[in-house]
Each structure stands twice: as structure tokens, then as C-alpha cells.
Amino acid sequence: MRRVAVTGIGIVSSIGSTVDEVTASLREARSGVRFAPTYAEHGFKCQVEAAPKLNGEPIDWEGLVDRRAARFLAPGTAYAHIAMEQAIKDSGLTHDEITNERTGLIVGAGGPSTAAIVGAAETTKEKGSPKRIGPFAVPKA
């Protein structure tokens, strides 16, 4: 059997963004699903969301991600980036250990960025061609 070690964890979720927050939410059966006013304003039939929170507040991800990287990210991919940075920090691994070919990772994530997909669809409709979407639409979704 191969050796396995869980060395770090990063969490960005609607019930917390630290191990302690998520553990407390699970133990208290606290839901992360909330009413979404913007969904109601747009007339969507579903008007709830489970948006990630950090310390109980909506995440200002642009302030947490390097400015150069942020331009390639939508909120969903930014949350994954933030969780990755948390996991690396939590692991205590050095750069050499992280880049070692025997080091691996496991990632779990929710769905794509609906806003990025809708934005790409709107661009296609307005400009008449999906070729007008731009090269960053796929990594943002």
C-alpha cells in the first residue's frame, strides 16, 4: 500500500471558510443557503444561493487574489484559488516539497461560474458570434 498523508486543507464554502467554521456549521446543522435578492430582481424562479462566506461575510475575492491572476478568474475559480492557497499554507510544505513529482493533491469543487457562462452567452448574442467571447471565457467558467 502506498503512503498517504493529508497535510493541508483549504475551504471556501457557504457554511464557512475555515475548518472550525465548517465543523461548527455541520454540528449545528446550519445551512449555507440564503435568499438571493439579485436572483429575485432578475425574475429567476429559483431565488436562493449558497454563496461562499469568509468569517460570515461575502468574500471580496479580488482583494485576496494576486491582481495579475485575478484577471483570469471568475468568482468560482477564485474561490478554488483561495482554498488552494489556504491548503498550501496549512500544509507547512516547502516550495521544494510542493513541486516534488511525488507530491499530489485532491480537489473537490462545486459547479461552474454561472455568471461567466451567462456573460459569454450574452456576448455571443450581442456580437452575433461565439468568436467574440474572448480567450478568458473558458478559464473563468
Please report the domains of the chain, with CATH numbers, ordered by start residue: 1-109 (3.40.47.10), 111-141 (no CATH)
Terminal Cα-to-Cα distance of the chain (whole angstroms): 37
What tens digit of pLDDT does each residue of 66-89 get?
888 888 888 888 888 888 889 999
The answer to whether the predicted template modeling score (pTM) of the entire model surpasses 0.75 is: no
Number of neighbouring beta carbons within 10 Å of residue 17: 22
Number of other residues whose CB lies within 10 A of the CB of residue 38: 10
The rounded distance, in Å, linking the Cα atoms of 115 and 51 is 13
The closest of 11, 47, 37 to 26, measured between CA atoms, is: 11
Q: Which of 36, 56, 59 is nearest to 47 (CA)?
A: 36
pLDDT digits (tens, 9 = 90+) for 17-33: 888 989 999 999 999 99
Nearest to 64 by CA among 86, 41, 31, 40: 86
